[in-house]
Amino acid sequence: MRIPIKSVTPETGHAEICGFVHEVRDLGGLAFFLIRDRTGILQVTIPKKKVSEAVLAAAKAVSRESVVRISGPVKAVEKAPGGRELVPETFEIISLAETPLPLDVSEKVSVELDTRLDGRFLDVRRPRVAAVFAIRSAAMHAINDYFHKEGFISITTPKIVAAATEGGTELFPIAYFDKEAYLNQSPQLFKQMMMAAGCEKVYEIGPIFRAEEHNTTKHLNEATSIDIEVSYADHIEVMRILEDVIVKTYEYVDKTCSDHLANMEITDFAVPKGPFPRLPYSEAIEIAKKKIEDPIKYGDDIGSAAERAIGAEMGGHYFVVDWPTEIRPYYAMPYENDPTICKAFDLMHPRMELSSGAQRVHNHDQLVQQIAKKGLNPESFDFYLKPFRYGMPPHAGWGLGADRLIMTMLGLSNVREAVLFPRDMHRLVP
RNA sequence: GCCCAGGUAGUGUAGUGGCCUAUCAUGAUUGCCUGUCACGCAAUCGACUCGGAUUCGAAUUCCGACCUGGGCGCCA
């Protein structure tokens, strides 16, 4: 029976392990093999005069990163890593790795991200990279767990859609039999429809697609979005949920991922403290005005330079609230007492935007008016508008970028590092 | 879409017109080595993205193509 390397201790007695050959150090009469599985690395020591011919032959033939099965007695040896080593009675090469390797798994020389992504399966063998995805998995678990505990219904909505409904971004056209179709940019309209369906609290974690030709460290053409929509809630309420999700996710990672964080050499993992500051858009602009050279005025979008300047000033997660209605999508609810600003918000990490959301317009006629005001044709929104005519609860929601959440949580320099097989304008394979 | 910077062994790099038969590290192959832990030692192998131009001479200059990294805009 194979046992995980982590559970091989000086007291184990006899063990069978499977894994990759991490490193080989041949001293002549004595050879050391480091065998790695998902749980750790074990030293296998071969005193050449004392092992069988078969073991010797396999040890000589094996290459780095080959898959092997090894069994034998475990001995407590002080000078071995982890205080124990295995001396093989059997040494089976299950799958021989070709040489040379496309990238160095043992990290003796650095590798560029592009090379890493070309050979992602090898890249993820590196413990520091595997840790990113183990932590991502834990984070997603915490998020799912939070929503289930809070009574949300998990939904799945179509990624193949008929029209460019939301506006504001380029979509990927696809061939759908004899019709024109697109990959969906967000579940926005569908999750709103689920409010009309009476589900009250829904969430979806799924892919979104944007055909923008951007070339930055924080954009992808296929991203993972965490989306919620809540009936009878306003923007204040869903901001509280968002803050809660962020804090609880960090807490869960902090509590359960210490080994993975150690593999990434993260020693100062900090759980953000709620509540996050609510910074009105107008004040954000004032901060940016003082700190950046490029002119910025009320009514402008907050660009990258301004975003960084404000982030430095705030020092942690914060919300930008009370945006001008003009620069937010048509579905954002304007304030009753001042319709020039609306109940929309962005959640910011000092490095970048993580999420945006709003209380939505739930009145049909007002929505039609706002669509028209944005220069869009309400007739092409019929499937979306229809639910608003048969009883639509007031509602609010947000979308949170899962990849950016992991990127900022782990201090990764490129969002592609947080995604197993990222899609950008230059990369379609693997 | 606009702008900038790049493309040298499997990997990461040095090299700004002749001293390049191209540096260093890592790797691979072979040999030596019984306590390595980035093992050590020796030998060997392995590269200038492609096409054109300038020049006596191009990895190096110019033009084009292809590929890559990054910034902006916009966004998650």
Distance of C1' in B8 from CA in A217, Å: 26
Same domain, A83 and A128: no
Give A186-236 pLDDT, tens digit per residue: 999 899 999 999 999 999 999 999 888 888 899 999 999 999 999 999 999
- Nearest nucleotide over every DNA/RNA strand to the A63 CA, judged by C1': B28
Same domain, A381 and A263: yes
Question: Could you tell me the distance in Å between the CA of residue A210 and the C1' of nucleotide B64?
Answer: 32
Q: Residue A385 in contact with residue A359, Cβ under 8 Å?
A: no
What span, in angstroms and rounded, lies between the C-alpha atoms of A367 and A361?
6
Could you identify the residue whose CA is nearest to the C1' atom of nucleotide B40? A27
A134 has a pLDDT exceeding 60: yes
A117 located within any domain: no
- Count of structural domains within chain A: 2
C1' nearest to CA of A77: which nucleotide? Answer: B35
Tell whether A206 is covered by a domain.
yes
State the Cα–Cα distance between residues A75 and A84, nearest whole angstrom. Answer: 6
A361 and A402 share one domain: yes
Question: Is A294 strand, coil or helix?
Answer: coil
Is residue A345 located within the same domain as residue A257? yes
Residue linked to tokens 């899962």: A402
Report the nucleotide nearest the CA of residue A302, measured to C1'.
B74
Within a domain: A382: yes
In this structure, what are the phi and psi dihedrals at residue A70, rounded to the nearest 5 degrees? -130, 135
A231 and A361 co-located in one domain: yes
Residue A33's nearest nucleotide, by CA–C1', is B36
* CATH code of A218's domain: 3.30.930.10
Same domain, A239 and A336: yes
Could you tell me if residue A289 is inside a domain? no
Helix (H) or strand (E) holding A73, with range, is strand A67-76
On whether both A398 and A352 belong to a single domain, the answer is yes
For residues A75 and A149, membership in a common domain is answered with: no
Q: Which residues pair with A398 in a beta bridge?
A: A228, A357
Q: Are residues A46 and A157 in the same domain?
A: no
**Residue A145 burial (CB count, 10 A):** 13
Nucleotides of B under 7 A from a protein CB: 1-3, 10-13, 25-29, 32-40, 67-76
Inform me whether the pLDDT recorded for A293 exceeds 80. Answer: no
pLDDT, tens digit, for every residue of A267-289?
Answer: 889 999 989 999 999 999 999 88
Q: Provide the token pair at A74.
A: 């475990």
The percent helix, strand, coil of chain A (3-state, each to 5) is 35, 30, 40
Distance A116 CA to B11 C1' (A): 10
pLDDT band at residue A164, thresholds of 50, 70 and 90? low
In a domain, A243, yes or no: yes
* A148 and A255 assigned to the same domain: yes
Residue A241's pLDDT band, with cuts at 50, 70 and 90, is very high
**A287 located within any domain:** no
Which pLDDT band, with edges at 50, 70 and 90, does A166 fall under? low
Residues A329 and A410 placed together within one structural domain of the fold: yes
| Lookup: nucleotide whose C1' is closest to A348 CA | B76
Residue A375 is assigned to a structural domain of this protein: yes
B4 C1' to A238 CA distance, Å: 41
Helix (H) / strand (E) element for A44: namely: strand A40-47
Alpha-carbon span A388 to A366, nearest angstrom: 10
* ipTM for this model: 0.86
What percent of chain A is predicted at pLDDT more than 70?
Answer: 99
Q: Whole-prediction pTM value? A: 0.92
Range of the domain at A348: 122-276+316-418
- Would you state the structure tokens that stand for residue A393, as one six-digit string? 């609860």
Per-residue pLDDT band for A72 (boundaries 50, 70, 90) equals very high
